[in-house]
Amino acid sequence: MPPFDSARFTLWLPQLLCAVFLAILFLQSGLDKVVDWKGNLGWLTGHFSKSPLKGVVTPMLAVITLMELASGALSAAGAVALLVNGNPFLAYLGAVLSALSLLALFFGQRMAKEYAGAAVLVPYFVVTVAAVYLLRLA
């Protein structure tokens, strides 16, 4: 952790906050899909029943679950690395994978014509793009 009164601290703190935010967001979401696979699969099967993606719900759920877990794990490891040695690399990778995960979720919502659900993802995406930017500055 850089000294509180340093210019480096001004960048380090938002980097850390973004990494922790993304770790919480994606670890919770990914773990929920693992713990309640059947419930999520059932809901998503209905959600995509009238979309072109109706035949690939199970593989889509598997891919997004892996993406979310990897995003959360990289972001969490990145937060630890930022705390221990100030290195933002893992957090940067976590933020990039988080952005890709959100794009996949956004695509699914749009394909299902769930426009309100897609709109809810936009603030998360904005924070994630900010994290990518902030974490690359170091």
Digit-coded pLDDT (tens) for 47-96? 999 899 999 999 999 999 999 999 999 999 999 999 999 999 999 999 99
Q: CB–CB of 95/18 below 8 Å?
A: yes
Residues 6+ apart with CB under 8 A from 92: 78, 132, 135, 136
Across 121-136, average pLDDT? 97
Q: Which residue has the higher pLDDT, 9 or 95?
A: 95
Across 105-121, average pLDDT? 95
> What band does 138 get if pLDDT is binned at 50, 70 and 90?
low
Whole-Å CA distances, 108 to 12, 14, 62, 101: 34, 30, 14, 11
| Beta carbons within 10 angstroms of residue 3's beta carbon | 8
Across 102-120, average pLDDT? 95
DSSP 49-81: TTSTTGGGHHHHHHHHHHHHHHHHHHHHHHHHH
Q: How far is 2 from 28, CA to CA, in rounded Å?
A: 29
The amino acid at residue 34 is V
Quick one: which of 58, 78, 56, 54 has its CA closest to 66? Answer: 58
The overall average pLDDT reported for the chain is 95
Burial class (CB in 10 A: 0-12, 13-18, 19+), 31: middle
